[in-house]
Amino acid sequence: MTLRILDKLYASDTNLTKADLALLEYVKAKGLDACNAPISEIAKSCGVSHATVTRFARKFGFDSLQAFKIALAQELGPSDNQGHLIAVNISYDESSEVTARKLDELSTSTIHHTVQLIDHEVLRRITQRLTNAHRLFFIGKGNSGFAASDSAYKFNRIGIDTRAITDTHEMLMQSTMLNKRDVVVAFSNTGETKEIIKAVQLAKNEHAKVIAVSAQPESSLCQLADEVLIYAIRESYLDSGSIYSKLAVFFLIDLVYTEVCKHLGEHAVATKRKTALALQELDGPSTPDAAAPAAAAASAGAKADTLSAHPGAGSASDKVHEPSDSPQEQAT
């Protein structure tokens, strides 16, 4: 089953006006209640005119508000089965096979919409900022903290001096000790997490660069940031933290990581090889005879992992020329 209306509702659309966005948030928050509400109640709740409500329905391909309501209600299903899962159209009495198919569809749709939101010029600038960063800090709270920790681990493996900070006190203290060569990547789904906002304000006071990763382009975090990465998300408050909501964030970070690896070329491969060998030593003492095949395997694995999306980077030793005082060489 294709969730045509829900796909449109949960995909950001730059053609929507401020009034349309208010209506969009109302429908997403109210679900079936919005389908049953009269136009006067919808208009009053959103602070818009009746005509604006009607035009909103037409922007989604319907001749009237009533037609929009009926179609949306059919997708959402019976109210007694929806609970807090209306965004994925899950019914309590459906089979696991049906649920699996719906979640698969939602995951695919989430990634698809996130790809559509990517500004590749912004991505290019972010890649350059991260490559040239003296120190890189990933910050996040709650579920966003998991993304921060995973991101720091990835970038450390390619020789960038990176830390993940999820503790509020440490986050605020560290933000006062940054400088213009440092970069902060701040995660917040809503873009309004108060600890993150405060940390970013402190970082900006120290002239550090800030990259926001959020689902809300108009949020306070995105307004403060130097660069913004936006991802698509479809979940309700009680559904927060579901795997498909994390997919978009991890996808974006993996994309940025891959772009940085492409830019660093052989330097990233060499550093990844060194870290892989260091971890292999935990399996047992190395012998001269075992060291060579282990090194070869680590080298092949590092190249495949780092350069799979960019085959030409295999000869990056004569393509990438880094300054001798670059933070990446210092890190290695």
Backbone angles phi, psi at 92, to 5 degrees: -65, -25
Task: Please report the pLDDT score of residue 321 as a whole number.
Answer: 39
Separation in Å, CA 9 to CA 180, 183, 327: 39, 34, 43
85 with 220, same domain: the answer is no
CA distance 49 to 123: 39
Q: What is the DSSP letter of 121?
A: H
129 with 239, same domain: the answer is yes
What pTM value is reported for the model? Answer: 0.63
Q: Which of 53, 84, 116 is the last residue of a domain?
A: 116
Q: What is the DSSP letter of 314?
A: G
239 with 155, same domain: the answer is yes
186 with 239, same domain: the answer is yes
Task: Please report the pLDDT score of residue 123 as a whole number.
Answer: 97
Rg (CA), the chain: 23
122 with 255, same domain: the answer is yes
256 with 187, same domain: the answer is yes
CATH code, domain carrying 213: 3.40.50.10490
Stretch 56-61: mean pLDDT: 84
95 with 183, same domain: the answer is no
Q: Which of 231, 262, 293 is the last residue of a domain?
A: 262
Task: Please report the pLDDT score of residue 196 as a whole number.
Answer: 97
Above 90 in pLDDT, residue 134?
Answer: yes
281 with 162, same domain: the answer is no
| Interval 281-326: pLDDT, tens | 777 655 444 444 545 555 555 554 544 444 444 443 344 334 444 4
Asked if residue 22 lies in contact with residue 47, where contact means CB atoms within 8 angstroms, the answer is yes
Domain that holds residue 78: 4-116
CA distance 40 to 21: 18
Asked if residue 225 lies in contact with residue 186, where contact means CB atoms within 8 angstroms, the answer is yes
Task: Please report the pLDDT score of residue 175 as a whole number.
Answer: 97
CA distance 25 to 44: 14
Domain count, the chain: 3
290 with 239, same domain: the answer is no
324 with 211, same domain: the answer is no
201 with 244, same domain: the answer is yes
88 with 75, same domain: the answer is yes
Q: To the nearest whole number, what is the mean pLDDT of the chain?
A: 79
Task: Please report the pLDDT score of residue 203 as a whole number.
Answer: 98
Q: Which of 262, 281, 314 is the last residue of a domain?
A: 262
CATH code, domain carrying 15: 1.10.10.10
Task: Please report the pLDDT score of residue 61 as a whole number.
Answer: 80
CA distance 309 to 105: 25
Above 50 in pLDDT, residue 151?
Answer: yes
Lowest-confidence region among 39-53, 78-92, 257-271: 78-92
